[in-house]
Amino acid sequence: MEVLETISRKLNNLLPDGTHGKEEVVIEKSLHERIIELFKAGKKKKVIARLLGVGIKTVRKILGGQEWVPYRRASVKEPLLGPFQEWIGHRAPEIEYNGRVLFRELKEKGYRGKYDTVRKYLAPLRPATGNRQMTVRFETLPGQQAQVDWGSSQVWFGEERVRIRFFVMTLGYSRRMFVRAFPNERLGSLIEAHEEAFRFFGGVTEEVLYDNPKTMVIKREGATVVLNGVFEDFARHWGYSPRFCRPYRPQTKGKVESGVKYVKKNFLVGRRFRELAHLNEELERWNREDADTRLHGTTGCRPIDRFSEERLTPCPLVKPYLQGLPNTRQVTREGFVNWKGNRYSVPWSWGPVAVRVSQDDRNLIILSANGEDIRHALLTGETGQCRLDPSHHRPEEKNVPTSSCSEDLPPQYDPRWEKEEVERRDLALYDLLEQEVLR
């Protein structure tokens, strides 16, 4: 009996750690053979199991004819992010390691995994950040307040980097946002942005909270605020009360401050656009598909869901305040101004600058910064039309290559940016073709 126990201890040493006495262990070949030998020597199955420290089921399977099979490690599946790792290595720094942006773009490239997989993959790649300061936020009732702020950022229009201003209005209760890009923060842009926001939301809140911009506030003495007369009349026209933060206390409108950061980090980062109109088209799509439907970190709800509880004052009969007054537009690099879905040319000498635009019953009037103006007959019917004055073309001249002194390059891995591939042919091919034709 002592001899059998000694054999049992030696054979147990052949088992992997932590498997003694357990079912379905990995059996070494020597142990497999020893079970058969002991059974042929007249030992019962239970005795063999006890002596060798294996399960009775294992003994029965082996004695029932189960052949010994060497252990093979299970094949490891390729990680879901495997095919995208090289692209992620390039794209992640361009979008400042924003997991939500990367997850959205990966889905467009065919990724079928979850957001948590992307988040965990990015965690060790993301640079360390400093400590964040905490702020207590004041909550408002449905329909009570909206907050407005401007954000500024450099944006890529093709190969050119341009500074653009972003108007953001955030509803205090639902956190639903309206965002629009403008070339400047002038009063005309401000009023136009408000009216587009009111139409987008379908109504107006009781009050709107602002910082103290010069386009609205002429001066401030303590709690007394002297407003720009045009802006004061505009607020009265739309029926809401403007409120202003205490100086040097931008945290008072923390909801919209967070909205500006969200636009920069979730939409703008790593993107390129053709022109201002294209930027606003993409911005509107992102606003409805992403910003409206995200789970808000403070409320725990989607803004579009809480928006149904907002008690806004409807304004279907309010006429635009700027009707008949000039609006601001940005001239594209191709020399056009976008107006109500159509394009109108301007002289090439004006360049890609901001211009003032107004219309009467028949014409569109475009006014340059130096006072020069042009008129186009208004396009009617479908949008997407173009009104081109041949005299606005640049005089023909030789193409002179230009170079950029800036080492800063536009994003190279934006999946939504479609490069126009132009086939290049050797000019000698055209000479050969001409000779063939003349034969």
The pLDDT of residue 35 is 85
* pLDDT at 203 exceeding the cut of 80: yes
Whole-structure pTM over 0.75, yes or no?
no
The pLDDT of residue 219 is 83
SS (H, E, C) the chain: CHHHHHHHHHHHCCCCCCCCCCCCCCCCHHHHHHHHHHHHCCCCHHHHHHHHCCCHHHHHHHHCCCCCCCCCCCCCCCCCCHHHHHHHHHHHHHCCCCHHHHHHHHHHCCCCCCHHHHHHHHCCCCCCCCCCCCCCCCCCCCCCEEEEEEEEEEEEECCEEEEEEEEEEEECCCCCEEEEEECCCCHHHHHHHHHHHHHHHCCECCEEEECCCCCCEEEEECCEEEECHHHHHHHHHHCCEEEECCCCCHHHHHHHHHHHHHHHHHHHCCCEECCHHHHHHHHHHHHHHHHCCCCCCCCCCCHHHHHHHCCCECCCCCCCCCCCCCEEEECCCCCEEEECCEEEECCHHHCCCEEEEEECCCEEEEECCCCCEEEEECCCCCCCCEECCHHHCCCCCCCCCCCCCCCCCCCCCCCCCCCCCCCCCCCHHHHHHHHHHHC
- Dihedral angle over CA of 73, 77, 78, 81, nearest 10: -130
Report residue 396's pLDDT band, with 50, 70 and 90 as the boundaries.
Answer: low
Tens digit of pLDDT for each residue in 24-62? 456 777 788 888 888 888 888 888 888 888 888 888 888
Residue with the bigger pLDDT between 96 and 42: it is 42
Tens digit of pLDDT for each residue in 312-337? 999 877 887 756 456 778 888 889 99
The pLDDT of residue 133 is 52
Mean pLDDT throughout 170-177?
93
Contact 276, 165 (CB under 8 A): no
Tens digit of pLDDT for each residue in 336-380? 999 988 999 999 888 887 788 878 778 888 887 666 778 899 998
The pLDDT of residue 284 is 93
Mean pLDDT throughout 393-413?
56
Contact 415, 108 (CB under 8 A): yes
Closest residue by Cα to residue 79 from 88, 71, 91, 70: 88
The pLDDT of residue 25 is 52
The pLDDT of residue 68 is 67
Counted residue by residue, the chain has a size of: 439
What backbone torsions phi and psi does residue 102 show, to the nearest 5 degrees? -65, -40
Mean pLDDT throughout 177-199?
90
Contact 335, 392 (CB under 8 A): yes
Tens digit of pLDDT for each residue in 212-267? 888 888 888 777 888 887 788 889 989 999 998 876 555 554 555 677 888 888 88
Report residue 193's pLDDT band, with 50, 70 and 90 as the boundaries.
Answer: very high
Give me the residues paired with residue 247 across strands: none
The rounded distance, in Å, linking the Cα atoms of 60 and 69 is: 16
* pLDDT at 426 exceeding the cut of 90: no
- Give the CA distances from residue 318 to residues 238, 240, 280, 347, 429, in Å, rounded to whole numbers and listed in that order: 7, 13, 24, 36, 64
Closest residue by Cα to residue 383 from 344, 343, 330: 343
The pLDDT of residue 137 is 56
* pLDDT at 18 exceeding the cut of 50: no
Mean pLDDT throughout 278-305?
90
- Dihedral angle over CA of 193, 196, 201, 204, nearest 10: 70
The neighbour count for residue 426, using CB atoms within 10 Å, is 8
How many alpha carbons lie under 13 Å from residue 349 in its C-beta half-sphere?
Answer: 7
Residue with the bigger pLDDT between 418 and 274: it is 274
Chain mean pLDDT for the chain: 78
Report residue 309's pLDDT band, with 50, 70 and 90 as the boundaries.
Answer: very high
Q: Report all structural domains of the chain as residue ranges with CATH numbers, in order of start.
A: 2-63 (1.10.10), 82-122 (no CATH), 145-309 (3.30.420.10), 327-392 (no CATH)
